[in-house]
Amino acid sequence: MRGLAAVLLCLVLASCGQVPPPQVPASAPPLSVVTSAAVASPPSSAPLSVPVPTSAPPPPTLPTPSRALDPSLTTVRGTVSGGVESGCTLLSTPGEQYLLLGADPAIAVAGAVVEVSGRPDPGAMTTCQQGTPFHVVRTSRV
């Protein structure tokens, strides 16, 4: 019984794909046939005008980095410690505690005295519950 159902299904699906050819009315003008000989080639006196690049376009220019620090950066020195939350790195100074964001983890290790330059961002949202967020640009040991 399954074999018969499978054969009927194949026949139905096979007949769905056939579309009858369009009917041409008897009064329609005859169709013209274009052969490869009828296709005109451009005259030899008119060369094709296709732009060919002579070289690759130049790469975009990037700003040259400066070795001098931006005068708007703040530099602070203190002792690094771990925060209450995992992955939070703090810098304790005599008057403030900073949450270091982007400090070099090889330099800013717990117990190290470091100097960091960057920008404090008191309004930044973090998962760490301690210190003023401080976006670090440069980290160095003292």
pLDDT digits (tens, 9 = 90+) for 6-34: 666 666 666 655 555 566 555 655 555 55
Q: How far is residue 123's CA from residue 117's CA, in Å, rounded to a whole number?
A: 18
In terms of DSSP bridges, do strands 97-101 and 74-82 run parallel, antiparallel, or are they unpaired?
A: unpaired
Q: Would you list the domain boundaries of the chain?
A: 74-141
| Domain 74-141 sits in CATH 2.40.50.140 | yes
Other residues' Cβ atoms within 10 Å of the Cβ of residue 114? 21
What pTM, to 2 d.p., does this model score? 0.52
Under the banding of pLDDT at 50, 70 and 90, the label for residue 66 is very low
The single-letter code of the amino acid at 7 is: V
